[in-house]
Structure 1
Amino acid sequence: MKLLFVCSRNQWRSRTAEDLFKNRSGIEVRSAGTEPSARIRVTAKLIDWADLILVMEKRHWQRLSERFPNETADKNFDILDIPDEYGYMDPELVEMLEVAVGPYLIG
């Protein structure tokens, strides 16, 4: 399974998620941000690559679907509802990600 994690700047939340799950067996992981200033920006190619897109907030999915309507039309996604108040690898953020993403990794 190919997972794409998306937040605003690809600095804290989505980057933490990528680093947290990238060495798990059976999955490939990438991360990106929706903002022009993002460390890695979301592209149509990244969206096409992903089997599942996990966004941190509803606004991220709204931005993706507005910017890439064709690529997101039939794409599997979920909104994790993780606010932008955590630093990179913050223990609370790591725990939230484990709980939210864990069900997708079973099987």
Structure 2
Amino acid sequence: MNLLFVCSQNNLRSPTAESVFSDIANISVRSAALNNHAEIPLGVEDVIWADYIFVMEQSQKKKLRSHFKIHLNAQRVICLGIPDNYEYMEPALVDLFKQKVAQYVDV
């Protein structure tokens, strides 16, 4: 199963999620950003690769659907509702990811 975590800059939230889920058997994980000037911008190949795409905010879900509409087919796009007020690997953020993602996939 391929999980893709997307936020605006790929600095704090999505890299945290990638780290949290990277060692789980039978799961591959990537993270990327919706902003073009980010270190790891989201590409078509990421969208096509993913089974689940987790965004942090509703605005990101809209932007994803707008920019990658023709490439979104069988992927489930899920908004986790996690605001941009956490540091990288902050324990509260790690706990949020574990709780929220487990509602959708067996992790």
Task: Give the TM-score range, shorter chain.
Answer: over 0.9
- The residue type equivalent to 2:13 in the other structure is R
Query: Deviation above 3 Å: which 4+ runs of structure 1?
Result: none
1:19-51 Cα deviation digits (max 9, x unpaired)? 110011110000000012212111111000001
Structure 2: 5+ residue stretches without partners: none
TM-score, normalised to structure 1's length?
Answer: 0.93
1:73, distance to aligned residue in structure 2 (A): 4.6
TM-score, normalised to structure 2's length?
Answer: 0.93
Corresponding residue for 2:13?
13
Residue correspondence of structure 1 range 14-93 to structure 2 within 5 A: 14-93=14-93
Higher helix proportion: 1
Corresponding residue for 2:102?
102
1:78-106 Cα deviation digits (max 9, x unpaired)? 10000000110011101100100123342
8 Å CA contact retained: 1:65, 1:73: no
1:40-75 Cα deviation digits (max 9, x unpaired)? 111111000001101011111111111111012543
Aligned equivalents of 1:87 and 1:38: distance in 2? 17
Q: How many residues align?
A: 107
8 Å CA contact retained: 1:2, 1:49: yes
CA RMSD in angstroms, aligned pairs only: 1.3
Aligned equivalents of 1:98 and 1:82: distance in 2? 12
Structure 1: 5+ residue stretches without partners: none
Aligned equivalents of 2:55 and 2:44: distance in 1? 15
